[in-house]
Amino acid sequence: MSTKIIILWVIAVILVTAIAISLSFFMHKPAEPVEYKNKIPMQKTEVGGRIKLPEPRYESETSVEEALSKRRSIRDYSGENLTLDEVSQLLWAAQGITAPWGGRTAPSAGALYPLELYVVVGDVEGIDKGVYKYSREEHELEKVKEGDIRAELADAAGGQECVRDAAIDIVFTAVYERTTSKYKTPVYEERTGASYLRGIRYVHMEAGHAAQNVYLQAVSLDLGTVVIGAFMDDRVKELVNAGEQENPLYIMPVGRKG
Ligand SMILES: Cc1cc2nc3c(=O)[nH]c(=O)nc-3n(C[C@H](O)[C@H](O)[C@H](O)COP(=O)(O)O)c2cc1C
pLDDT digits (tens, 9 = 90+) for 154-191: 999 999 999 999 999 999 999 999 999 999 999 988 88
**Judgement on whether residues 164 and 58 belong to the same structural domain of the protein:** yes
Asked if 24 and 91 sit in the same domain, the reply is no
Residues 134, 10, single domain; the answer is no
**pLDDT-based confidence at residue 39 (cuts at 50, 70, 90):** low
CA atoms within 13 A on the CB side of 189: 8
Verify that 116 and 195 share a domain, yes or no: yes
Distance 223 CA to ligand 1 centre (A): 17
List the one residue out of 189, 230, 218, 211 whose CA is nearest residue 87.
Answer: 218
**Mean pLDDT, residues 133-152:** 97
- In the reported structure, the alpha carbon of residue 206 is separated from the centroid of ligand 1 by a whole-number distance in angstroms of 17
Ligand 1 pocket, 110 CB below 6 A? no
Q: What is the pTM of this model?
A: 0.85
Looking at the fold, whether 15 and 83 belong to one and the same domain comes out as: no
Please provide the DSSP assignment of 123-143 as one string: SBTTB-SEEEEEETTTTEEEE
- What share of the chain has pLDDT > 70, as a percent? 90
The residue segments making up the domain with residue 177 are 41-256
Residue 66 β-bridge partners = none
Q: What is the mean pLDDT of the chain?
A: 91
Separation between Cα atoms, residue 148 and residue 24, nearest integer Å: 47
Q: Does residue 22 carry a pLDDT above 90?
A: no
Check residue 23 and give its pLDDT: 62
Q: Is the distance from the beta carbon of residue 163 to the nearest atom of ligand 1 less than 6 Å? A: no
- Say if 245 falls within a structural domain: yes
> 97 - beta bridge partners?
104
Whether the predicted pLDDT of 215 surpasses 70: yes
Mutate to test the pocket of ligand 1, among 227, 231, 233, 236 (most ligand atoms within 8 A of CB): 227
In a domain? residue 35: no
Decide whether any atom of ligand 1 lies within 6 Å of the 99 Cβ: no
Residues 14 and 47 reside in one and the same domain: no
In this structure, are 155 and 220 located in the same domain? yes
Whether 36 is covered by a domain: the verdict is no
